Amino acid sequence: MLPDSKTMRAASAITSIALVVSVLLPCAQVLADEVSTTAPVVQWYAPFLSGGGYCSEAISFVGAVDNVKSPLFSLRITQHGDSVNPSFSTTLPTDIQALFRSHWFTSPSATPPTIAICHSEPGAWNPPRYQTSLCPPQGTEYAIGRTMFETDRLPSGWAQRMDGIMDEIWVPTTFAKSIFEAAGVPANKVVVVPEAIDVEFFDPDTATPLPLDGITEATTVFLSIFKYDRVWEERKGWKSLLKAYLAAFSRADDDVVLVLLTNAYHSSSDFAVR
């Protein structure tokens, strides 16, 4: 949570964002305690033009924040944490393009934001371990890191960067919170912020089912989603998934289907040759 020493302008902005993503943060007398001629600036840094999980999650978050139209802060968004993927960025839906045009910000010399949200793996955080936009930029009043890792421990050095760089760490689940704290991230910094969901896009009443050969209404369909980054990523647990699936459904009359939905990430999409 925001400590008492941080400015009320930062509290105003982060409270409004937190309401969108169902995080309860203190909001009493936020507006009454300080009067400012300009609204606090919240700058969301993420791989918006890269595709992948961080990208889609960040787009859902900023879309939700934009829908609030809060007068308490202004929103800026900046590409961060990964390279631009032209095959993804040039085919964005028109509503996402409009969202980006409304809030896109690239000037490195501007006044730093009140709150910087660094939505990426910690290696991208300032100082970054590879070339990317600097998040949080020097002079930021409050820095938030949004990240995750799908295993029962964190990569070497992550906990130290989280504690040393960020004021707060957002994770998607209570499981992630327990893993981060066990790795040494201070418990008072770790906040569970569930993923945002576009309920219009993911509306089963308007979606067209994916045609699958050989299934009936009685068939149980399982879905797993992960990316292909030159190799099948071990941390996504695909081997464990296949072993468990084949062990559980070994009979010929088991009416089940497992669908693996994946996409090429910095690699060829010709999966057949791999």
Q: How much is the pLDDT for 232?
A: 73
Look at residue 99 and tell me if it is in a domain. yes
Q: How much is the pLDDT for 228?
A: 65
What is the average per-residue pLDDT within 74-96?
Answer: 94
Range(s) of the domain holding residue 268: 220-273
State how beta strands 115-119 and 74-79 pair: unpaired
| Number of structural domains found in the chain | 2
31 confidence band (pLDDT: 50, 70, 90)? very low
Look at residue 22 and tell me if it is in a domain. yes
Any idea which of 54-58, 106-110, 118-122, 236-240 has the lowest mean pLDDT?
106-110
Q: How much is the pLDDT for 268?
A: 55
CA distance 168 to 2: 8
CA distance 36 to 13: 13
What percentage of residues in the chain have a pLDDT greater than 70?
80
Q: Assess whether 65 and 126 both reside in one domain.
A: yes
Q: Assess whether 78 and 123 both reside in one domain.
A: yes
Q: Assess whether 185 and 50 both reside in one domain.
A: yes
Residues 6+ positions from 25 with CB-CB distance below 8 Å: 1, 2, 11, 14, 15, 18
Look at residue 1 and tell me if it is in a domain. no
Q: How much is the pLDDT for 153?
A: 93
pLDDT in tens, 204-225: 899 888 889 889 989 999 999 8
pLDDT at residue 32 is higher than 70: no
Q: Which of 155, 177, 192 is the last residue of a domain?
A: 192
Q: Which of 173, 192, 211 is the last residue of a domain?
A: 192
Averaged confidence pLDDT in the chain: 84
- CATH code, domain with 122: 3.40.50
Look at residue 105 and tell me if it is in a domain. yes
